[in-house]
Amino acid sequence: MEPKVNDSATSNRVHSRKSLNYDGGNCDEPNAGFDPLVESIYTLQSAQEALGKEVLKFREVGILLDVSVDGAVQDLPSETISIDLKLQETSPSKQIQSDKNMQSSFHSLHSEAKEAANRKYMGTELDDLFRLKIEAEVEYLAISRTAQKYIAAVKDKITLASEQSLKLNMLENTKNKASMLEKEAKKLVNSCEDIVSADKTLKLQMRICKYASYFLIQLVILVLILRFFIFHISPNNDGVVPT
């Protein structure tokens, strides 16, 4: 409930102020004693109005006060009117005491209003902090899940990369072995070519030796035949007598 100052309360205050001023005008001695009290009453009334405006401002920004504080603020106009009426009927000492009591009640009410506003503000801050905590936890869970997915994907990529590197190493080793085998094959081909060329040379040498032996045999036979014919045909062989 919002504190409102009724028109009747305002008229009562004006009437009480006028009555006080009128009483002070009738008698000079009471006027000298009542002027500070009247000023204090005016000050308290202005403090009441400022407090009401402050409560209205709190309500405008969304800060809800406790029900007890609202009831106390609503009762302020009637309490002020009753206090004004009592001040007219009581003695100066009692009015001073009531003034002090009213000031203390205003201070206590103001402090209660501030405490209620602080409690409401702290509650709002706690709600905001709790909401931020929940949002942070949700973000942490989302980030942790995303991080786990990325970690799993990175692990899979690392495993795939290691397997590919192993395959590349195996291919490199296979290429090296193939190059070594190719070199060995070339060496074998060269050695085979050497063997073939040596075999051909040996065969050629054997054929040459064979033909040379045939030629020598034929030559020896021809020489023997020629010598035999020459020996038989020669005429000196008939008349020769050994001595």
pLDDT of residue 89: 54
Residue from 68, 59, 75 nearest 2 by CA: 59
Rounded CA separation 182/139 (Å):
62
Instruction: Find the domain containing 71 and state its range.
Output: 7-140
13 neighbors 6 (Cβ within 8 angstroms) = no
Residue 220 located in a structural domain: no
- pTM for this one? 0.31
110-145 residue pLDDT tens: 677 777 767 666 777 777 888 888 888 888 888 988
**Does 55 fall in a domain?**
yes
User: The tokens of 225 are what?
Assistant: 């035949």
Question: CA 80, CA 145: separation in Å to the nearest integer?
Answer: 65
DSSP conformational letter for 64: P
Q: What is the mean pLDDT of the chain?
A: 71
CB 58 within 8 A of CB 115: no
Structure tokens at 124: 């709002």
Measure Cα distances from 113 to 51, 52, 63, 73, 242 in Å: 9, 10, 11, 9, 184
Residue 75 placed within a domain = yes
Provide mean pLDDT across the span 23-51: 55
156 found inside a domain? no
Question: Domain for residue 115, yes or no?
Answer: yes
pLDDT at position 231 is: 83
Is residue 218 included in any domain, yes or no?
A: no
Residue 202 included in any domain: no
The yes-or-no verdict on residue 235 having pLDDT over 50 is yes
Task: Choose the most confident range, by mean pLDDT, from 76-90, 97-111, 128-142.
Answer: 128-142
Band of residue 7 on the pLDDT scale cut at 50, 70, 90: very low
Q: How far apart are CA 54 and CA 77, in angstroms?
A: 16
Least confident span in 92-106, 111-125, 144-158: 92-106
**Residue 130 maps to a domain:** yes
- The domain total for the chain is 1
